[in-house]
Amino acid sequence: MAETVTLHTSNTTMVLNVEKGKQPKYVYYGAKLSDYDQQHLQTPRNGRMDAYPAYGMNCPAEAAFAMKHADGNMSTELYVTDLDRQGDITRITLKDPQYPISVTLFYKVYQEEDMIETWTEIHNGEAKPVTLTQFASCSLPIRRGNVWLSHFYGSWANEARLVEEPILPGEKVIKNKDGTRNSHTDHAEVMFSLNGKGQENTGDVIGAALCYSGNFQLKIDTDDTEYHYFFASINPDNSEYHLKKGETFTTPKVALSYSQAGLSGVSRNFHQWGRKYMLAHGNKERKILLNSWEGVYFDINQQGMDQMMGDIASMGGELFVMDDGWFGDKYPRKVDNSSLGDWVVDKNKLPDGIEGLLRDAKKHGIKFGIWIEPEMANTVSELYEAHPDWIIKAPKREPVLGRGGTQVVLDMSNPKVQDFVFSIVDNLMTKYPEIDYIKWDANMPILNHGSQYLTMNDQSHLYIEYHRGLENTCKRIRAKYPDLTIQACASGGGRANWGVLPYFDEFWVSDNTDALQRIYMQWGTSYFFPAIAMASHISATPNHTVFRTTAMKYRIDVAMSGRLGMEIQPKNMTDDEKALCRNAIKEYKGIRPIVQFGDLFRLVSPYDKVGLASLMYVNKQKTKSVFFWWKTESFQNEHLPRVKMAGLDANKYYKVHELNRIDLRPMDIEGKSFSGAYLMNHGLEIPYRNEPEYAKKNDWSSRVLLLEAE
């Protein structure tokens, strides 16, 4: 058997050479090949094209896979024994000629979305346990040239910052070791721009996302050959895995997409694939909500919740979410130093219980949601008193404590803990089936290594088993409550990853709700995640994190580019602010399908520091679009670029209507029509300042334009 395996999507092709007794090799990944071109491919030169290089027979080269066999041998050889193609899935089975170890490489093709998912199954047929020390999901050689990397870094309140850099010789490692959450700092997604610094709407780009919620490692190694070697993996550090006889280890998937339409082109592929196959309820419009956190923090009480529900209902909102602070009996949750684990209502704060809250939500005609942090406990809690053995801590040592000086992480590798976590949601939903939404938080990393459940021999399984336990629990919840909306929150944007999103409807982008900084964070987030999944809330000023005061219109215009919500105490808002929000919610309902299901075209990046940022969403039929334009700084007599639009139909005529207008006079373009060609080749002049009445002028300017084809 010597076969050329060709994987086609609508616009891309991947070719692998699969020959029995040899290592499978990449031959091509790029724009779609014609039949003729497929027959006449040149074999790549001066690179190691192995699809899954194993360690031991060419030690200096980076490997995707390394293990210690039962007899102590550290080397592995993996040669093709079988090829199986069924429907969208291709399986290539590799075996070691000396040891009964097999590795199956999977490739799954998503035609329309130009996506190829790849992952690996490692099977131990040896008589005794073997130890896996490296177990990448995939490896991909990328031809050198002027290849640039786009990736994301950050921290709490500053998530998903975009960084763009050329790939130079040496090794670049992007990783996470948080243990519970994995997207505050580095992100498990990267793009490679193959022809110089990435452009939004032109150029060849490969995007890769490791669909995993735990510790990860993305490595790009550039040596003396003609290729960069990309590896995406569960982070193997302190995670060697003992695979018993007869067991199979399945790696997480990597989703790969190639586009000739630049960075935004790859983003659109990920958004489509994500909405259709990954994200929970990716085809269902999201409700407009008010979350209580920045409005009242821990100061929860029945009257206060009723008032907030009334206020959001009066502004047109559809859902109210009660955040932290509602629970604890023996230890009521007053601040962040107690009660996690005790998921019973604090009757002093809420004498009518959750029943009372649901009653009030019904009275106001909105839905009700609730905050929980199920994977955690405080040492000050009834749960900890009953089950000190359920927490993660190093053997023979005191637990290292987190938030509030008392927080601990529950050991999700323990099936009893999984049952408990499941029961938190199950109890709430059994008693109160009208609960519509759960905000699932996770506010602590694994600080100390140790499971009280795993054997001493298998302590190195902790990180992996934690995430298996989390996933199993999520699967159980979804099997029983398929319609529930669940937000993934983790001290803000700690869980923006494609590992958890099959079980969650959205994620909280950041605890930082400052509109200006959100432009940067949401920009980075949008590379791999669709707007429908990005919770984006209007909050008070001075902002509670950065203390900046921006205009209400600006805050609205930024929040409306994602899944719109509010994070504010409405009773402190002026009538004028309430009127602006009421109008914005009405306008958002009109554009919600375009923002939440449309194609994203990023136009001007805030990271390019030209004084503004701009992007647009276009519906599938190219008949409706929403254009966002935000100034990122303000100077007198400044010069801002005119923004060329993208993604429209050149031959259609689009009528312009400004949303969220505060100016006394409409813009000169209001109600006028322009051809798609003109809008994309030239663009519109947007006045640099909003011009409301004098007393309302400020230095924050933004515009939202609705374009409708005639």
Closest by alpha carbon to 480, among 412, 433, 414? 433
Question: Could you say which residues in the range 453-482 bind ligand GLA, by CB under 6 A?
Answer: none
φ, ψ of residue 324 to 5 degrees: the values are -55, 150
Contact mark string toward ligand GLA, 527..546, x via CB under 6 A: --------------------
Q: C-beta of 484: minimal distance to ligand GLA in Å?
A: 18
Among 50, 323, 375, 436, binds ligand GLA (CB under 6 A): 323
Cα 329 to Cα 332, 376, 417, distances in angstroms:
5, 17, 21
**The one segment of 160-168, 220-228, 485-493, 607-615 that binds ligand GLA by CB under 6 A:** 485-493
Distance CA 600, CA 643 (A): 15
Q: C-beta of 491: minimal distance to ligand GLA in Å?
A: 5
Does residue 375 bind ligand GLA (CB under 6 A)?
no
Q: Residue 397 burial (CB < 10 Å; 0-12/13-18/19+)? A: exposed
Q: Whose Cβ is closer to ligand GLA: residue 489's or residue 500's?
A: 489
Residue 468 structure tokens: 């298996």
Which residues have a Cβ under 8 Å from the Cβ of 28 and sit 6 or more positions away? 13, 14, 15, 41
Q: Whose Cβ is closer to ligand GLA: residue 24's or residue 154's?
A: 154
Contact mark string toward ligand GLA, 395..434, x via CB under 6 A: ----------------------------------------
Q: Whose Cβ is closer to ligand GLA: residue 213's or residue 605's?
A: 213
Among 492, 562, 565, 676, binds ligand GLA (CB under 6 A): 492
Among 119, 148, 227, 508, binds ligand GLA (CB under 6 A): 508
Q: C-beta of 611: minimal distance to ligand GLA in Å?
A: 31
Does residue 324 bind ligand GLA (CB under 6 A)?
yes
Does residue 440 bind ligand GLA (CB under 6 A)?
no
Other Cβ atoms less than 10 A from the Cβ of 502: the count is: 17
Q: Give 322's strand partners.
A: 370
Is the CA virtual torsion 338, 501, 524, 230 positive or negative? positive
Closest by alpha carbon to 440, among 421, 467, 420? 421
**The one segment of 14-22, 477-485, 486-494, 537-545 that binds ligand GLA by CB under 6 A:** 486-494
CA atoms within 13 A on the CB side of 292: 27
Other Cβ atoms less than 10 A from the Cβ of 2: the count is: 10
Q: Whose Cβ is closer to ligand GLA: residue 277's or residue 297's?
A: 297
Distance CA 487, CA 503 (A): 9
Please name the residue that has the structure tokens 């110089």: 196
CB 26 within 8 A of CB 44: yes
Distance CA 545, CA 562 (A): 20
Q: Whose Cβ is closer to ligand GLA: residue 272's or residue 513's?
A: 513
Q: C-beta of 441: minimal distance to ligand GLA in Å?
A: 5
Does residue 489 bind ligand GLA (CB under 6 A)?
yes
Among 260, 414, 443, 513, binds ligand GLA (CB under 6 A): 443
Q: Residue 348 burial (CB < 10 Å; 0-12/13-18/19+)? A: exposed
Distance CA 506, CA 382 (A): 31
* DSSP per-residue letters across 503-529: T-SEEE--S---HHHHHHHHHHHTTTS
Q: Whose Cβ is closer to ligand GLA: residue 491's or residue 541's?
A: 491
Q: C-beta of 489: minimal distance to ligand GLA in Å?
A: 5
CB 40 within 8 A of CB 72: no
Side chain identity, residue 353: G
Q: Give the interface size with ligand GLA as a residue count (CB under 6 A).
A: 12
Helix (H) or strand (E) holding 674: strand 673-675
Cα 154 to Cα 490, 521, 534, 702, distances in angstroms:
14, 9, 17, 26
Contact mark string toward ligand GLA, 333..372, x via CB under 6 A: ---x----------------------------------x-
Helix (H) or strand (E) holding 666: none
**The one segment of 94-102, 202-210, 484-492, 538-546 that binds ligand GLA by CB under 6 A:** 484-492
The reply to whether omega before 542 is within 30° of 0 (cis) is yes
**The one segment of 245-253, 488-496, 498-506, 537-545 that binds ligand GLA by CB under 6 A:** 488-496
Cα Rg for the chain, rounded, in angstroms?
A: 26
Q: C-beta of 512: minimal distance to ligand GLA in Å?
A: 10
Q: C-beta of 135: minimal distance to ligand GLA in Å?
A: 32
Question: Could you say which residues in the range 254-293 bind ligand GLA, by CB under 6 A?
Answer: 293
Does residue 511 bind ligand GLA (CB under 6 A)?
yes
Q: C-beta of 373: minimal distance to ligand GLA in Å?
A: 7
Does residue 326 bind ligand GLA (CB under 6 A)?
no
Among 411, 441, 577, 658, binds ligand GLA (CB under 6 A): 441
Q: Whose Cβ is closer to ligand GLA: residue 236's or residue 493's?
A: 493
Q: Whose Cβ is closer to ligand GLA: residue 203's or residue 369's?
A: 369
Does residue 126 bind ligand GLA (CB under 6 A)?
no
Q: C-beta of 336: minimal distance to ligand GLA in Å?
A: 6
Among 217, 267, 451, 491, binds ligand GLA (CB under 6 A): 491
The residues binding ligand GLA (CB under 6 A) are: 293, 323-324, 336, 371, 441, 443, 489, 491-492, 508, 511
